[in-house]
Amino acid sequence: MIHVEELTKVYQMGESEVRALDGASFTIQNGEMVAIMGPSGSGKSTLMSIIGCLDVPSSGRYTLDDVSVENMDETRLADVRGRKIGFVFQQFNLLARTSALENVKLPLTYAGISGRQRDERAMKALERVGLGQRTHHAPNELSGGQQQRVAIARAIVNEPAILLADEPTGALDSKTGVEIMDLFQSLHRDTGQTVILVTHDSYVARHTERIIKLSDGRIISDEKNPNPIKAGAPRMEA
Amino acid sequence: MKRIQTPSKPVRRGWKRRAGRAPRPRPRNMLFSENLKIALRALRANKMRSVLTILGIVIGVATVVALLSIGEGATASITSQIQSGGSNLLTISPGRMQAGPAALSGGSQQASHLYYADYQLLDRALTTNISDIVPVYQASYTVKFGSESFSAPTVGVMEAHKEVRSFEMADGRFITEGDNKSQTLVAVLGSSVAEDLFGELSPIGKIISINGLKFQVVGVLEAKGSSIGSPDENIFIPIETGYNKLFGESAVYNGRKTVNNILVSVTDEKNMDTVSATVEYMLRRSHELKTSDELDFNVMNQSDTLETLNTVTQTLTIFLGAIAGISLLVGGIGIMNIMLVSVTERTKEIGLRKAVGATKNQILTQLLIETFTLSLLCGVVGILLGVGIALAFSVSGLISSVITANSILLAFFFALIIGIFFGLYPAFRAANLHPMVALRYE
Ligand SMILES: Nc1ncnc2c1ncn2[C@@H]1O[C@H](COP(=O)(O)OP(=O)(O)OP(=O)(O)O)[C@@H](O)[C@H]1O
Ligand SMILES: [Mg+2]
């Protein structure tokens, strides 16, 4: 369970300060699939990185499975980042000059998984994102969409309980985008993963069960979507 | 990842399995070999950076090893040159010790001499603390054997000369007391002279001519190696034979026989100063010098010279070491530069590693191994290069060099420390950042 209360994040920019998050509160139950929407600069990425334990809020509380994240020590945090949470970065953040396979294997290495299993699982993850043929290419030899899929493979390879994806389909064509949504839906459905994804695309958002809208760091709406679109079903323009 | 679904237990099965309880305890210490692999992979992924880093330190280390070896070599060769003359040796020579203003003004300057009588005086006066005292007269003459002919320093000596200068015979015998008494025409050859005159032939028993006078060769000295005052180029004859048959008028001044040097071999190094003082006192009297007059001879003490030269060579070594140290430092700053240039990328990489579950310790261990491997590589390559340079100098005969374990250890640890310091500093900072902050670092 993810529970945040009055989260704020203030960036000091010389004289002025930017309130990237301004009192956001919500609870996401285990196994939910949620979309976060909002205009550019509304604080979506900031929120995601706090939920992902990659950054700390300026104020407010964040409890993850009944444990206050502030109270977690360095090793506990590393454990949460490595095994409980999979994070797809908006900027992909792949290691340069390192093959797709090696990139995907990285979380497994730090999770202490043995060598042969690592190769197997990383290959599986790459196949799931449709990159089974491109495993030995370095990021600069891959297209933007392919890089994004490597990033997704890296996030799911450890089978994390929570998958956080910051614009996971931003660099993909609509067909591949649908494939990724299908992947997320099946992960969510089959293994009960909590999936939180950021998107600008309301069509993508409607694949989830709940849509949270942000504006200027505040939550302006938080609604259930009772009939999520099933990925791959014929698209109906709104 | 195919999971078979049974309709009765649809959704939360996998979830509960994983997230229903606290995270499993994970192996806190990743295997060292695992960490090593990560580090080596990172090094290989950044070849250019690694190569440039290595280069800086390699040059530094090589310089340190080469310069220290050359400094050490210079010291050793100077020391051995001085000691090959025989230790505990006092050398008395004519001439003023210091070129003071009086010597430069020229007016009252006259050639000073040491006399055979001085030797006899000292021989009588110095009864304790010395093992031997011998006079030396030396002049160059043309030496001939068969078609070979060249000029060689010919030294008139006594039997004890061999002990005083610690000569070893390669063949035959040295000059004896008997030779001096009966003024025989015999000669002992330095090793180079023997080789130049006779080549492969055995010189013993052969007759050579010195300044037209026939001498029989009775002995050949062991080679001492090229050094200051090496006997290898000399011919030794009985000093009495010399005075009476060879040196002629040039060995006489004011009707008195002169000598070039008087050598005093002191029994114990502790007594050098006492003996030296006695010599000065006696000679002052015999040369009729007033207390205000400067000495017209000087007494050279082996160990004094050695000490002075040692400080000189030590300074030289320190100086060379300093240059080497600076070049290491420059190499280190080069490393830091490269590390700083890559710090953005580095910081992002560290941020990412933390984001996918690396602990700070794992990151620091990885970086430590990376830096250590680099430094180790630098150290080894640098030492090999440095030793190579030092050997090249030795072989070419320019400067002899002595490679010591000290210089190698010094260079090695310096490389290690510089590498670790300059390499780890930027990375250490990054490891303390929140992952997202590190990932957004520009
Ligand atoms: N490190 C930072 N320093 C200063 N300001 C920042 C920093 N990170 C984010 N901001 C500011 O915080 C606000 C929210 O940024 P954030 O990245 O969360 O937006 P976003 O909703 O993800 O936008 P986009 O859809 O364009 O990705 C922006 O105004 C941004 O300028
Ligand atoms: Mg964003």
CA distances (Å), origin B25, targets A78, A83, B22, B294: 12, 11, 9, 90
Determine if the pTM surpasses 0.95: no
Q: Write the residue with the smallest CA distance to atom 22 of ligand 1.
A: A45
Closest approach of B395 to chain A, Cα-based (Å): 45
User: Comparing C-alpha atoms, which of B153, B400, B122 is closest to residue B276?
Assistant: B122
Other residues' Cβ atoms within 10 Å of the Cβ of residue B149: 12
Sign for the CA dihedral angle at B353, B357, B362, B364 comes to positive
For residue B289, give both structure tokens.
């010098």
Ligand 1-lining residues (CB < 6 angstroms): A 11, 13, 18, 20, 38, 40-46, 90; B 440
**pLDDT for B30:** 58
CA dist., res. B77 & res. B55, Å (int) = 32
Residue A13 lies in a domain: no
> Residue B315: pLDDT band by 50, 70, 90 thresholds?
confident
Buried-exposed string A186-223: b where 16+ CB fall within 10 A, e elsewhere: ebbbbbbbbbbbbbebebbbbbbbbbbbbeebebeeee
CA dist., res. B402 & res. B394, Å (int) = 9
Structural Rg of chain B based on CA atoms: 37
Closest approach of A162 to chain B, Cα-based (Å): 9
Closest approach of A59 to chain B, Cα-based (Å): 16
Residue A18 lies in a domain: no
Q: Can you give the residue range of the structural domain that contains A102?
A: 32-45+72-224
Residue A6 lies in a domain: no
Indicate if the pLDDT at residue B107 is higher than 90: no
CA dist., res. B305 & res. B283, Å (int) = 22
Residue A4 lies in a domain: no
CA angle B377/B382/B385 to nearest 5° reads 130
Residue A64 lies in a domain: no
Q: Which of A49-63, B147-161, B316-330 has the lowest mean pLDDT?
A: B316-330
Residue A211 lies in a domain: yes
Put simply, the answer to whether B439 touches A87 (Cβ < 8 Å) is no
Indicate if the pLDDT at residue B101 is higher than 70: no
Other residues' Cβ atoms within 10 Å of the Cβ of residue B405: 7
User: Do residues A19 and A9 make contact, with C-beta atoms less than 8 angstroms apart?
Assistant: yes
Q: Residue A164 maps to which CATH number?
A: 3.40.50.300
What pLDDT digit, counting tens, does each position of B317-353 carry? 788 878 877 877 777 777 667 666 666 777 888 899 9
Residue A83 lies in a domain: yes
> Residue B426: pLDDT band by 50, 70, 90 thresholds?
low
Name the residue among A55, A112, A154 with its Cβ closest to that of B437: A55
Side chain identity at B91, as an amino acid letter?
A: T
Longest dimension (CA), chain A: 53
**pLDDT for B303:** 67
ipTM score assigned to the predicted complex: 0.94
User: Comparing C-alpha atoms, which of A204, A151, A150 is closest to residue A173?
Assistant: A204
Question: Contacts of residue B15 in chain A, CB cutoff 8 Å?
Answer: 30-31, 161, 191-194
CA distances (Å), origin A199, targets A174, A177, A196, B122, B208: 13, 11, 10, 109, 109
The average pLDDT across A170-198 equals 90
CA dist., res. A110 & res. B357, Å (int) = 6
For residue B356, give both structure tokens.
């996918």
User: How many domains, in total, are found in chain A?
Assistant: 1
Residue A55 lies in a domain: no
B 19-38 residues with CB < 8 A to A: 19, 22-24, 26-28, 30, 34, 38
